[in-house]
Structure 1
Amino acid sequence: MTQNTAQRMTVVVTGASGRTGSRVAQAAETAGLTVRAASRAQGFDWHDGSTWADVLRGADAAYLVHPSDVGAPDAADAVGRLAREAVALGVRRLVLLSSRGEEALPTEETLRASGADWTVVRAAWFAQNFSEGPLVEGLRQSGELVFAGGEVPEPFVDLRDVADVVVKTLTEGDRYVGQTLEVSGPRLLTFREAVAEVGRAAGRELTYTPVPAHRYGEQLAGFGVPAEEVAFLVELFESLLDGRNAYLSDGVRQVLGREPRDFTEFAKESAGTGVWKA
């Protein structure tokens, strides 16, 4: 795609204020695309279909990320309905961020059945989950991560790589239509090893305490997370973190022609922001 062509392309980015959407929006703007942010701040609501048409109308493509995990009970229905509306409005090029694991398959299937020119990007666990979101407070305040990750290795992927892959698939015409791309980091790390790397980068001793998924769910409930969401997350962690995803994927290399960013690079850069300072 030439720079002039990219400048004429308008892409809707759902979740534009979130962890993934914000990085996709930034990467898309860097590539010369016109970004149309779709978040609650702009009046877009995944749970209110009446808000969808205004943001989709006149766009060329859309990046879809559901606010709850793509395997959440309401995700498949919402993604399917939005995808069908997008196609009806002439927005055929859709890229869905998904996760590795069978629980995400119903959501992917609704996208494939929508009539869109679709691409699915399946991502491993985000490296940025250690620097943004609910895992951060324990590391920062008590120097401990209490989590249901066991001792299972995971190929943590940098969200900047995910964003770069998404934008490349959006701008490469028909090259990635109808494909499912799996992206991961370049090596496997257990949560214990990842926390140790974070500690070295932050210059402080950090520890990891694995707990069963149901105990982590009790902790979430204590923080006020709704019971239905807790039950979903417990089931999710019991399936995703049972070792089935302990393998590397070559999607970053396949799409971008380079190796994915290493977790050590992420940890050093994030430590420089002070996110893990006590």
Structure 2
Amino acid sequence: MSNDITLVLGATGNTGRRVAARLRLRDTPVRAASRSSHPPFDWFHPAGWDQVLRGVTVAYVVPPPVPGPVHDLVARAEAAGVRRLVLLSGHGADDWGDSAFGLDMRSAEDAVRGSALEWTVLRASNFAQNFDGHPFRVPLAAGELALPAGAVPEPFIDLEDVADVAAAVLSEPGRHAGRVYELTGPRALTWAEAVELISRASGLPIVYRRISPAEYTATLVQEGWSEDEAQHLAEMFVLLERGAGAWTTDDVATVLGRAPRTFEDFVLRATAADAWRC
């Protein structure tokens, strides 16, 4: 067991809580940081960052939803003696071009990859677990998922695979230095195909309906999202329709020595947990 501390930012989030649990099972000293942790970590209150970084050797970084703060964090991390950074980003970021989507992730990548520290970037496609959590579980449970997505498929990645990869990379200094891993599921599905699999496995009458980005934005605002948040998510679908993230990779197998979990495997687990029953 090493005495080096591994910092997990966003430790109450989708990937952070899974990564922290895996590291603890490896007997790795973990500092799970979030706004509710002790000490707390808040991207918009940098005065507390130095305390969180104290004694840390490697950090798992989930960037905030705005460009900029990761640059400041990297400078603080270098000064604190952190040696390695592992950043979560988005699949196919090099192909996002002039899209307004993902400016936060691209800014974070620039900060990490331009640092003097050993770094690894994990670019994940859309999570399968978005279907049994936020933001798609509620509309699926109501019987219809309406999105601005058509025939371009998405290689949904299981969050358990993302966490497995992150825990492995965090635990293996040197092996993944300077690498950008594109993390995808084994095959790409259209959003309509994904909903059909959920409907078939659950036995529930769930349908998919394609709508325009403007309609989707308006729907999200009606549901209580801010205009900026709604437009940002709608812009993601506009980008996906360009095919920027439709391709699959073998990077999960490269890191873990096994194939990624299938979307069907996720659907079976979620169905067993009655994820889509009201």
Residues 201-212 of structure 1 correspond to what in structure 2 (within 5 A)?
201-212=201-212
Equivalent residue of 1:228, what SS? helix
Aligned 8 A contact 2:152 2:240 in 1: no
Alignment of 1:15-164 (within 5 A): 15-42=10-37, 43-68=40-65, 74-75=66-67, 77-100=68-91, 101=93, 102=96, 103=102, 104-140=105-141, 142-164=142-164
| CA drift at 1:67 | 4.2
Question: Counterpart of 2:126 in structure 1: which amino acid?
Answer: W
Residue 87 of structure 1 aligns with an amino acid whose one-letter code is: E
How far apart are the structure 2 equivalents of 1:153 and 1:240?
8
**CA–CA distance in 2 between the matches of 1:210 and 1:35?**
43
AA of the residue aligned to 2:51: D
Deviation at 1:256, TM superposition (A): 0.3
Distance 2:73 2:237 in 1: 27
- Normalised by the length of structure 1, the TM-score is 0.91
Q: 1:211-249 deviations in whole A, cap 9, x for unaligned?
A: 122211111111222222223333232113432211111
For residues 241 and 48 of structure 1, the distance between their equivalents in structure 2, rounded to whole angstroms, comes to 36
Which is richer in helix? 1
Offset of residue 24 of structure 1: 1.0
CA–CA separation in structure 2 for the residues paired with 1:216 and 1:189: 20
* 2:99 alignment counterpart: none
Q: Look up the SS of the partner of 1:41 in the other structure.
A: coil
Distance 1:110 1:222 in 2: 36
Candidates 8, 11, 25, aligned match of 1:13: 8
- Conserved in 2, the CA contact under 8 Å of 1:15 and 1:67? no
**Distance (whole Å) between structure 1 residues aligned to residue 145 and residue 228 of structure 2:** 24
- Residues 217 and 227, structure 2, Cα contact 8 Å, conserved in 1: no
Identity %: 41
Distance in 2 between the 1:164 and 1:40 partners?
Answer: 24
TM-score with structure 2 setting the length? 0.91
Structure 1, unmatched stretches of 5+, are 69-73
CA RMSD of aligned residues (A): 1.4
Runs of 4+ with deviation above 4 angstroms = none
Partners of 2:63 and 2:108 within 8 A in 1 = no
1:58-98 CA distances to partner (integer Å, 9 max, x unpaired)? 11111011243xxxxx23x1111112211110112110000
Question: What residue identity is the alignment partner of 1:216?
Answer: Y
